[in-house]
């Protein structure tokens, strides 16, 4: 039994999975309330990664930051999350809100349009080149090991713990605060919630803010762990995030996290163990989705949806 391969892929999978989980959370929250597949979510993730990059440049660059490396990272997170939160609110306000009562296909196409717009604006303004976070120079990457077979780096630990931390914060917001209660009510029955005096517009905007902020955190983390960001990175990540949300049960927050980790682990283990692994890794992830549809269409932790006639 090749333990070093096993542990290596395990750590890779958890790291990847924590990023997918953050993206999946945004998808699942928006779908729960609006029943809308937000194609532009992956591109919000990309914008978050770029905002983090530009904040880093503004702070002096990876080689000579004005403040301590870790504080720079914290600032990058904060600015990216707030910035993308605002972006998400803006997208909802202008691309989705007017279409709330339109036929189902209209907001879907509008989302596609926003996605194309964001991708190509990034391409136009920031060029097709890859930008590097230079994590080595910024905070240094230290590798810890347990025994001969288990390696993990400090950035990977940071990624997994930040992801879990943010999920806990989100779960607390949704279950303990009044706004969270309003969100749950809206996703259960929108018209009833409106009649009970909840401002739907504000709840939806808040949902988008949260979801986009989480995606931005994912984007910054991706840049830190893997080093390279570019304008088209949102597409595949968004797809996998959506897969994670569906596999875990759309509309369920713990489901999204579970789905994210599951997808990440599938990708890592498929690459490591299956022939032609890395090339077909994406396909194995999608195959998992198909299998999930056939066995349990509502996802692992989702509740069955009853269609009223």
Q: Which 135-164 positions form the footprint of another protein (CB under 8 A)?
A: 135-136, 141, 143, 145, 151, 153, 155
Neighbours of 273 (CB within 10 A): 12
259 in Cβ contact with 245 (< 8 Å):
yes
22 versus 180: smaller Cβ distance to another protein: 22
48 versus 272: smaller Cβ distance to another protein: 272
SS3 143: strand
Cβ 173 to another protein shortest distance, Å: 26
Calpha distance 4→19 (Å, rounded): 23
Q: Does 109 bind another protein (CB under 8 A)?
A: yes
Cβ 105 to another protein shortest distance, Å: 7
Task: Give the angle 198-191-99 at the CA atoms, nearest 5°.
Answer: 95
Cβ 177 to another protein shortest distance, Å: 26
Calpha distance 243→260 (Å, rounded): 8
114 versus 180: smaller Cβ distance to another protein: 114
Build a one-symbol-per-residue string for 4-33: x at contacts with another protein by CB under 8 A, - elsewhere: xx--xx-xxx-xx-----------------
Find the Cα–Cα–Cα–Cα dihedral 59, 64, 69, 73, rounded to 10°.
Answer: 30
Q: Does 204 bind another protein (CB under 8 A)?
A: no
Cβ 74 to another protein shortest distance, Å: 21
Q: Does 227 bind another protein (CB under 8 A)?
A: yes
**Which residues 243-302 are close enough to bind another protein by CB under 8 A?**
243, 246, 267-268, 271-272, 276-283, 286, 289-290, 293-294, 297
Element (H, E) at 189: none
177 versus 228: smaller Cβ distance to another protein: 228
Nearest Cα residue to 265 out of 12, 21, 1, 24: 12
Between the two ends of the chain, the Cα-to-Cα distance in Å is: 55
Calpha distance 3→147 (Å, rounded): 11
**Which residues 89-108 are close enough to bind another protein by CB under 8 A?**
90, 93-95, 97-99, 101-108
């Amino acid at each position: 039994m090749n333990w070093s391969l096993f542990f290596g892929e395990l750590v890779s999978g958890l790291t990847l999975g924590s990023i997918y989980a953050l993206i999946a959370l945004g998808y699942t929250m928006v779908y729960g309330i609006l029943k809308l597949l937000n194609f532009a979510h992956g591109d919000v993730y990309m914008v978050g990664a770029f905002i983090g990059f530009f904040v880093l440049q503004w702070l002096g660059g990876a080689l000579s930051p004005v403040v301590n490396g870790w504080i720079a990272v914290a600032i990058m997170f904060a600015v990216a999350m707030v910035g993308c939160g605002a972006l998400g609110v803006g997208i909802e306000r202008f691309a989705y809100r007017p279409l709330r009562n339109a036929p189902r296909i209209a907001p879907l196409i509008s989302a596609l349009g926003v996605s194309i717009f964001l991708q190509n604006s990034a391409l136009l303004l920031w060029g097709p080149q890859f930008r590097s976070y230079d994590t080595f120079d910024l905070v240094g990457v230290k590798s810890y090991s347990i025994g001969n077979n288990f390696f993990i780096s400090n950035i990977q630990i940071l990624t997994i713990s930040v992801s879990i931390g943010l999920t806990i914060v989100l779960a607390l917001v949704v279950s303990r605060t009044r706004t969270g209660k309003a969100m749950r009510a809206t996703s259960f029955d929108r018209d009833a919630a409106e009649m009970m005096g909840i401002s739907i517009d504000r709840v939806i905007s808040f949902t988008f803010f949260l979801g986009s902020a989480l995606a931005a955190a994912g984007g910054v983390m991706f840049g830190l762990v893997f080093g390279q960001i570019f304008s088209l990175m949102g597409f595949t990540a968004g797809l996998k995030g959506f897969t994670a949300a569906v596999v875990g049960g759309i509309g369920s927050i713990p489901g999204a996290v579970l789905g994210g980790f599951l997808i990440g682990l599938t990708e890592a283990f498929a690459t490591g163990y299956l022939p032609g692994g890395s090339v077909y890794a994406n396909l194995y992830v999608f195959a998992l989705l198909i299998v999930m549809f056939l066995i349990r269409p509502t996802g692992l932790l989702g509740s069955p949806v009853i269609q009223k006639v």
